[in-house]
Amino acid sequence: MKRLSQIKQGRLVKIISFDNNDLLLKLMEMGCLPGENIKIDQIAPLGDPISIAVAGYRLSLRLSEADSIFVEEIA
């Protein structure tokens, strides 16, 4: 298991769990649910923010938010 902030651009991952309960509701309302597949679309030149494809749309996350999402890479 890795944190979403550690995943490279273009990779497909599955959400496993969340680390930060304060962000949990916000992320789940945006479609970041455990078991959901997401793809890292773009990473800003300085590494923050990142753009992900989730539930049929694109979402931008701060690196600190991405750091609270545990994922598993899909081969």
DSSP per-residue string spanning 5-57: GGPPTT-EEEEEEES-HHHHHHHHHTT--TT-EEEEEEE-TTS-SEEEEETTE
Domain extents in the chain: 2-73
CATH topology of domain 2-73: SH3 type barrels. (2.30.30)
Residues of the chain with pLDDT under 50: none
pLDDT score of 37: 94
Looking at residue 32, its pLDDT comes to 85
pLDDT for 27 equals 84
Question: Contact 66/5 with Cβ under 8 angstroms?
Answer: yes
